[in-house]
Structure 1
């Protein structure tokens, strides 16, 4: 027969082990999603400077529609609105199906769709820390 105290210690160790396994599995998924969101933001930023059709393809449908309604065809409107150059990634944060990627020269918001991460807002900056972002390209 196992004493009650030993049984409690074994149960506590088992709970700690299961918790650490579950948390490490979640962080692996988050790291993969952060990497995917970051790759999409970097691809978008590079494409704005050259392959505009590719950049337009990386915009979320609502964002592209709003840009075209306001400024005309995406291929000509996008480079006019976003005159930033691609730069190194400063940080990436994923919140479920949404992400924020901060580049040296831009902050890009993304959402995960069935076919991958797409840009929902770009050319974003804050006037002050703690205030909302003001974005040159965004969807409703």
Structure 2
């Protein structure tokens, strides 16, 4: 099979490069909104699960380290430990900020922190209020 190197093939390169650039630009613009939506959905699902008493579902939305820390601190399984935590329940996020694979959701006067894992967004800290100083937040629930 012969390889052609004529002008006709070279003429397509700018068109192909332009199309590829447009696709990359469109994907890059949509990515932050997709992450914000994913973090918001996870935060809303966590609050709704707490509000309805579906503690198993709420525990499933915790990051592994946060769940382990809760169980270690309370000396009982997550589903039994979670009800005693002072966490916002069922309130929607008033704002969401995403920084790469980390998100901060404002829920009323409290803050919820999430991280994006391979299988979706998980809550890493909840019931957080601004504190100032070296520790900017005090959280009712957090990982190690």
| TM-score, normalised with respect to structure 2 | 0.75
Correspondent of 1:124 among 101, 121, 128: 128
Q: CA RMSD in A?
A: 2.3
**Structure 1 residue aligned with 2:34:** 32
**Structure 2 residue aligned with 1:92:** 96
Q: 1:104 to 1:53 in 2, by over 3 A?
A: same
**Structure 1 residue aligned with 2:108:** 104
Q: CA deviation at 1:130?
A: 9.6
Q: CA deviation at 1:87?
A: 1.6
| TM-score, normalised with respect to structure 1 | 0.77
Q: Deviations over 1:87-120 (max 9, x none)?
A: 2321111111111111115311011111000010
Q: CA deviation at 1:125?
A: 0.6
- Corresponding position: 1:43 with 2:49: no
Rg: which structure is higher? 2
Q: CA deviation at 1:83?
A: 4.1
The number of residue pairs the alignment matches comes to 123
- Corresponding position: 1:52 with 2:55: yes
Unpaired runs of 5+ residues, structure 1, are 1-17
- Runs of 4+ aligned structure 1 residues displaced above 4 Å come to 20-24, 128-131
Unpaired runs of 5+ residues, structure 2, are 1-20
**Structure 2 residue aligned with 1:115:** 119
Q: Deviations over 1:35-85 (max 9, x none)?
A: 000100010011112210000000011100000000122112112113433
SS at match of 2:94: strand
Q: In the aligned structure 1, how far is the partner of 2:109 from the partner of 2:58? A: 17
Q: CA deviation at 1:25?
A: 3.7
